[in-house]
Homo-oligomer: A and B are copies of this chain.
């Protein structure tokens, strides 16, 4: 996996500024996961969003243009080796068919959109060990018949 150069530049600036993704969320009015996706060039920003981001990171405007382009998406290798990312692959391997069964039963034949889609990450404090909460919300798209 090769991280785009612009991503490395933006992350370094973010570190230097001491800004968290949550800080950026407040500045840009966009969710921190979406902002991270824009920084990793998996989402395209509007010109205004790109300018706000670049300004917040204390960089000059030369990065704006690339951040507004529509990227070729998909960063990972076929099977991810990083343990954190692999767990999401494992969840799909283990719970994919059960999820398919439950979603079809609730909604009929179709899919959860990964485009009309949001993803939030929250920290659940727990005395037995904090928990990562991931909330995905995607529009249900029923299969069209024709």
Contacts and interface: CB of A to CB of B under 8 A. Distances in A.
Given A74-B81, A98-B39, A146 B118 contact: yes
Contact of A33 (B33, B40, B99, B134): B99
A131 B141 contact: no
Interface residues of A, number: 90
A96 interface: yes
Contacts of A128: 139
A121 B95 CA distance: 12
Given A21-B102, A119-B99, A83 B76 contact: no
A109 B44 CA distance: 7
A63 interface: no
Interface of A: 1, 3, 11, 20-22, 30-34, 36-37, 39-40, 42-44, 70, 72-76, 78-121, 123-124, 126, 128-146
Given A86-B90, A112-B134, A134-B135, 13 more contacts: A1-B97, A20-B105, A36-B101, A72-B100, A73-B82, A73-B93, A84-B104, A85-B99, A87-B138, A99-B134, A107-B132, A115-B142, A135-B135
